A and B are shown apart, each in its own frame.
Chain A
Amino acid sequence: MSGHHHDHDHDNHFTSIEARVKALESLMVEKGYVDPAALDAIVETYETRVGPRNGARVVARAWTDPDYAQRLKADGTAAVAELGYGGRGGEHIVACFNTPDEHNLIVCTLCSCYPWPVLGLPPVWYKSPPYRAKTVIDPRGTLADFGVTLPEGQRVRVWDSTAETRFIVIPMRPAGTEGWSEDKLAAIVNRDSMIGTGLPRPEDAP
C-alpha cells in the first residue's frame, strides 16, 4: 500500500469484525433499540481504557535519552518503530516537540485515521465538527475550554493529520521530575498531553 496517491479510495478501511460491529450497531439504532448518544456516553466512560497508548513510552524515552529525542525529531516513524510500535498502514509519524515558545495541538479527523495504537482512543467530544472548527479558528479558546492556560508568549501551532501523516505531541518534561525512571515518567504522560489538549501531570505518578 505504499505510495498510493490518492483518489481517496483507501483512506479508510474496516476489518471484517469492525464492519460487523458497525452493522449490529446501525441495525439496533435504526430499529430504535439504542440511542447513539447513549452509546457514546458508555464508550466515553472507558475512553482512556482503550488501546495500548504506546505514545507515553515514546515521550518518556525522549525525555530521558537525548539521542533518542534527536532521532525522534529527525524521523518519527523510525524512532517509534525502534520501540516496536507502528501504525496500521504505512503512514508516517511526525513528533511535534513543545517548546517554551510553541505549544502543539493536533486536531482529530472524523475518519479512522486517528493513531489510537500510539495515543489511545480520542475523547468523544474531540471528534465533533464544532470542536474541530473552533480549534482551527481559536486554538487558545479550545485549550481554555479544557482548562489549559498557556503562558502569554507561547504560540499555538495546530496540526491536522492527513491520510499519510499522523502526529504525536511531545510535551515538555515538567519541572521537579529530575531523576525519575522512564516508567515513572511514562505514567504521567496522559493521552491529552500527546494530543496537545492537556499537559503531563506529575501528581499522577505512582
Chain B
Amino acid sequence: MSRPETDLAAALATDTPIPRDAEGPVFAEPWQAQAFALTVALLNKGVFSADEWAQALGAEIREAVANGGCRDGSDYYERWCEALEHLLIAKGLTSHDGIDALAASWARAAEATPHGKPILLANDPQQG
C-alpha cells in the first residue's frame, strides 16, 4: 500500500523530529493521528502551503527546545497542535477565544455522551 502522506510528512518535517519508524510516522495516541490527518487535509485543500506549515511547526519546536522541551519527541504533537492553531489564527480563520470555547463545548459533549453512542457536539448540554 502506498502512503503518499508519508512523503509529505517527511518533506514537511525535515528539520523536526517527527516520531516515525522505517515505514513512516507512528502515533502514540489516536488524537495525534487526527491532528496529523487534519493538517494533511488542509494542506491538500490549499488552506496553507507546505512552506507555511514547515515554518509554523519549526517555530513552535524551536521555542519548545529553547525552553527545555521537545527533546525526545514526546511532546511533538502538542507542538504540532499549537502550530496548527497559530497558523489558522494568523490566516484569520479563527481566534484563540473561539478555539477555547469550542474545545470546552467538546469536553462537555464528551462527558454528557452515554456509553456506546457517538460523541457529537450537539450533545453539549450548554449548546444553544
Contacts and interface: CB of A to CB of B under 8 A. Distances in A.
Contacts of A20: 81, 85, 99, 103
Nearest to A14: B110
Contacts, number: 152
A102 interface: no
Q: In which size bucket is the chain A interface?
A: 35 or more
Interface stretch (B37-45, B55-63, B66-74): B37-45
Nearest to A41: B37
A10 B113 CA distance: 8
B106 A14 contact: yes
Contacts of A9: 111-112
Most A CB atoms within 10 A — which of B40, B94, B116?
Answer: B116
Given A14-B110, A31-B93, A39-B38, A24 B115 contact: no
B82 to A, nearest CB: 9
A45 B103 CA distance: 26
A23 B116 contact: no
B110 A121 contact: no
B30 A45 contact: no
- Interface of B, secondary structure class, is helix
Interface string B22-38: 01111111111111111
B128 interface: no
A21 B116 contact: no
B50 interface: no
Given A49-B23, A111-B117, A26 B30 contact: no
A11 B113 contact: yes
A80 interface: no
Contacts of B29: 50-51, 116
A34 B115 contact: no
Most A CB atoms within 10 A — which of B26, B37, B47, B121?
Answer: B37
Interface in A1-59: 8-28, 31, 33-35, 38-39, 42-43, 45-47, 49-52
Contacts of A35: 41
A15 B106 CA distance: 10
A142 interface: no
A111 B33 contact: no
28 contacts: A8-B114, A12-B114, A12-B119, A15-B31, A19-B107, A20-B85, A21-B35, A24-B81, A24-B88, A26-B102, A27-B102, A28-B47, A28-B93, A33-B47, A39-B37, A43-B33, A46-B5, A49-B24, A49-B25, A50-B26, A50-B32, A50-B33, A51-B27, A109-B116, A111-B117, A121-B33, A160-B116, A162-B115
Interface of B: 1, 3, 5, 23-38, 40-42, 44-45, 47, 77-78, 81, 84-85, 88, 93-94, 98-99, 102-107, 110-119, 121
The 6 closest A-B pairs by CB, nearest first: A23-B102, A42-B37, A11-B115, A8-B114, A23-B103, A163-B115
